[in-house]
Each structure stands twice: as structure tokens, then as C-alpha cells.
Amino acid sequence: MFSSVKYLLVLLLLLLFFTAYNYSLYTNQSDYGTIRLSEKALQGEKHWRENNCNACHQLYGLGGYLGPDLTNVYSFRKNDGNYLKAMFNSGVKAMPRFDFNETEKEELLQFLMEVDQTGNYPNTEATIKPDGWVKVQYKKETYEH
Ligand code: HEC
């Protein structure tokens, strides 16, 4: 039989573990690095939003499903910027025909290039660490431009 003192000790020990675990969780600095889009890519993101590309395309699996996920389209198309730029205005199949000028196409391309650098989707490199956090393998810690 547990005496009440032992009972209290176990309770205190559990509380101590709980506090220590929470402290370590909430003070944990993530090692994800900082990924910032360049000014040019931010312009591209603006075109992306204003033209509702996300209604049909996904980034990191989020978005509409009429068109393909474009997270890694840049490397998937073997870094062929000209192919992607041509796609923006081509209006193939269910993709509407857009009328971007050269600068806008460059900016959209830069956006997709930098998104591509942030990692892989689906992420096959992710591992679950013993403390429950997911460690994600980025292609680069930061994107230099
Ligand atoms: C109405 C839906 C729709 C919208 C909106 C749309 N797309 Fe698409 N997009 C598609 C479809 C469908 C395809 C696949 C065409 C094919 O298979 O030939 C596609 C293909 C593409 C591709 C080529 C992918 C590859 O690997 O060949 C790129 C790049 C692309 N879209 C970029 C964009 C951008 C940038 C925007 C916004 C400015 C946009 N799309 C808006 C439907 C859409």
C-alpha cells in the first residue's frame, strides 16, 4: 500500500516532470532558420495572389486541385525558367490564359524559384525527434539572391 507521503512524492515528481517538459518545449528555439523572400519574389507572390493561382494550384499541398502542386515545379522542370514563363501566358487545357509582361513573368518565376528552395513537398526528409518536434530538412537554410 502507498502511504500518503509516497503518494505526495510521486505527485510532486510528476508535477516536476510536467513543468520541466513544458519549460523545455516553450523555450526551445526552432532550428528552422529564416527564409525570407527577396523583393522580386514578393512582387511575384503579389501576382500569385492577385490572379488566384492558388484556386487551382497548391503550394505545400494547400490550394485548389485543378492544376498540379507547384512547390517544386522549378526543379521538377529542371530549372527551366523559360518553360515556366511560357506556361504563365499559354492558357493550356484548364489553365486560363494570362497576359503578364516580361517583368511580371520574371517576378512570378522568382517566386516559384524561391518557394522551391524552401524544401520538398511532400517532405520525405522529415523525421520525428524524441521530444516530439518534427525536424524538416530544407534544401538551404536561407535563400541567397
Ligand atoms: C483555372 C485553374 C488555373 C488557374 C487559376 C491557374 N492555373 Fe496554372 N495550371 C492549371 C492546369 C489545369 C495546369 C496543367 C495544364 C496541363 O496539364 O497542361 C496548369 C499548369 C501550370 C504550370 C505548369 C506546370 C507544369 O509542371 O507543367 C504552371 C507553371 C502554372 N500552371 C502556373 C500558374 C500560375 C503562376 C497561375 C496564376 C497566375 C496559374 N497557374 C493559375 C490550372 C490553373
- Position with higher pLDDT, 133 vs 21: 21
Residue nearest to atom 7 of ligand 1 (CA): 95
| Mean pLDDT value of segment 121-133 | 80
Closest of 31, 20, 25 to residue 132, by C-alpha: 25
Closest of 66, 84, 87, 67 to residue 75, by C-alpha: 84
Helices then strands, counting H and E runs in the chain, come out as 5, 4
**Does the CB atom of residue 75 touch ligand 1 within 6 A?**
no
CA atoms within 13 A on the CB side of 98: 19
**What are the residues facing 128 on neighbouring strands?**
134
**Does the CB atom of residue 13 touch ligand 1 within 6 A?**
no
**Does the CB atom of residue 37 touch ligand 1 within 6 A?**
no
| Cα-to-centroid distance, 123 and ligand 1 (Å) | 22
Q: What is the pLDDT of residues 46-105, one digit of tens each?
A: 999 999 999 999 999 999 999 999 999 999 999 899 999 999 999 998 999 999 999 999
Query: What is the reported pLDDT for 141?
Result: 45
Q: Is the pLDDT of residue 14 over 90?
A: yes
Residue nearest to atom 41 of ligand 1 (CA): 53
Query: What is the reported pLDDT for 144?
Result: 39
Residue whose cell numbers read 516532470: 17
- Position with higher pLDDT, 19 vs 3: 19
Q: Is the pLDDT of residue 111 over 80?
A: yes
Q: What is the pLDDT of residues 16-45, one digit of tens each?
A: 999 999 998 888 776 555 678 999 999 999
**What are the residues facing 63 on neighbouring strands?**
58
**Does the CB atom of residue 67 touch ligand 1 within 6 A?**
yes
Distance between CA atoms of residues 84 and 43, nearest Å: 17
**Does the CB atom of residue 108 touch ligand 1 within 6 A?**
yes
Considering the segment(s) 39-117 as one domain, its CATH architecture is Orthogonal Bundle (1.10)
